[in-house]
């Protein structure tokens, strides 16, 4: 009979990190690089400039611990307006999540990377756009566009199920923009932005951890406690601070949940 102490959540963190554009989601990853984690980033936004800037400033010796693959669909100009030219970003992203291999790079299967590595999807919003482009290309003659929305929603949800499953044995951070929705009760809530409005409230169910990047008058923080807008959560609420400065926040968050990776010892030459 399995013991609760042996549950896989004790070994790996699966974090949903949300925030408005400009709130610091990508740059916040730098503190994890400084803490010794290896980052493998599926860059769907083509927006890793802040991460590079902060890593070079805070922990330049660790910059090679960040591996990334930028995947964006290309557009072409047509008489009917811009159109996606041969959608491939979603399919390529799924291939990378199965086996991180391209050109002369081969880092093996992400599901085997272990606790010293973090697989980052940045961001879910653009990943969802790529899924929609894929769904439309698979059924271009659909009479009802809702078929594309349904197929892409199913594909995105399946990808999240993969990333948060017990068989995907590495840490995961999924970054997402926020969609604000007002319900029938008149309350406004914030959910991860994905395809359509139906999928957003479902996404947090896949994660034991949900944190929010906030930018208030230039003061950027990572919030961890639930609010009227966001049902934020983590598995150690009695130990976790309610907020952290964004410069150290993700490293602080992971530090509460587990020990940072062991840093290599320096050997002094005689």
Distance between terminal CA atoms of the chain? 54
State the sign of the Cα–Cα–Cα–Cα dihedral 191, 222, 63, 12.
Answer: negative
Q: Using an 8 Å Cβ cutoff, are 33 and 67 in contact?
A: no
The mean of the pLDDT values for the chain is 91
Report the C-alpha gap between 27 and 66 in whole angstroms: 13
**pLDDT over 70 percentage in the chain:** 93
pTM across the whole model: 0.92
Q: Give the distance, in angstroms, between the CA of residue 147 and the centroid of all CA atoms in the same chain.
A: 26
Max avg pLDDT among 13-17, 178-182, 193-197, 255-259: 13-17
Q: Which of 84-93, 162-171, 180-189, 231-240 has the lowest mean pLDDT?
A: 180-189
Q: Using an 8 Å Cβ cutoff, are 178 and 18 in contact?
A: yes
- Residues contacting residue 195 through CB under 8 Å, at least 6 positions apart: 128, 129, 131, 132, 149, 152, 153, 156
Q: Using an 8 Å Cβ cutoff, are 110 and 40 in contact?
A: yes
Report the C-alpha gap between 50 and 248 in whole angstroms: 15
Quote the tokens at residue 254.
Answer: 């992971």
Quote the tokens at residue 145.
Answer: 């566009």
Residue 26 pairs with which residues in a beta bridge?
none
Residue 121 pairs with which residues in a beta bridge?
42, 174
| Domains in the chain, CATH or no CATH each | 14-257 (3.40.50.300)
- Give the residue with greater pLDDT, 225 vs 82: 225
Looking at residue 186, its pLDDT comes to 83
pLDDT in tens, 140-151: 888 788 899 999
Q: Model confidence at 265, in pLDDT bands (50, 70, 90)?
A: very low
DSSP annotation of 143? S
């Amino acid at each position: 009979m399995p013991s609760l102490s042996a549950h896989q959540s004790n070994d790996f963190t699966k974090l949903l990190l949300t925030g408005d554009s400009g709130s610091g989601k990508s740059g916040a990853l730098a503190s994890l690089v400084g803490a010794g984690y290896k980052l493998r980033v599926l860059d769907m936004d083509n927006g890793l400039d802040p991460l590079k800037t902060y890593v070079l400033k805070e922990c330049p010796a660790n910059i090679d611990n960040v591996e990334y693959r930028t995947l964006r669909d290309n557009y072409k100009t047509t008489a009917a307006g811009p159109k996606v030219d041969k959608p491939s970003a979603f399919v390529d992203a799924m291939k990378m999540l199965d086996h991180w291999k391209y050109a002369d790079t081969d880092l093996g299967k992400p599901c085997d990377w272990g606790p010293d590595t973090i697989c980052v999807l940045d961001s879910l919003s653009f990943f969802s756009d790529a899924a929609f482009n894929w769904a439309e290309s698979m059924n271009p003659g659909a009479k009802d566009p809702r078929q594309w929305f349904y197929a892409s929603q199913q594909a995105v949800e399946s990808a999240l199920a993969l990333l948060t499953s017990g068989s995907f044995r590495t840490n995961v951070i999924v970054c997402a923009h926020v969609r604000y929705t007002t319900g029938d009760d008149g309350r406004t809530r914030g959910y991860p932005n994905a395809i359509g409005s139906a999928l957003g409230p479902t996404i947090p169910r896949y994660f034991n951890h949900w944190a929010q990047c906030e930018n208030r008058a230039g003061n950027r923080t990572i919030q961890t406690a639930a609010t009227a807008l966001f049902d934020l959560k983590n598995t150690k609420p009695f130990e976790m601070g309610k907020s952290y400065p964004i410069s150290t926040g993700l490293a602080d968050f992971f530090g509460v949940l587990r020990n940072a990776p062991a840093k290599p010892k320096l050997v002094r030459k005689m």
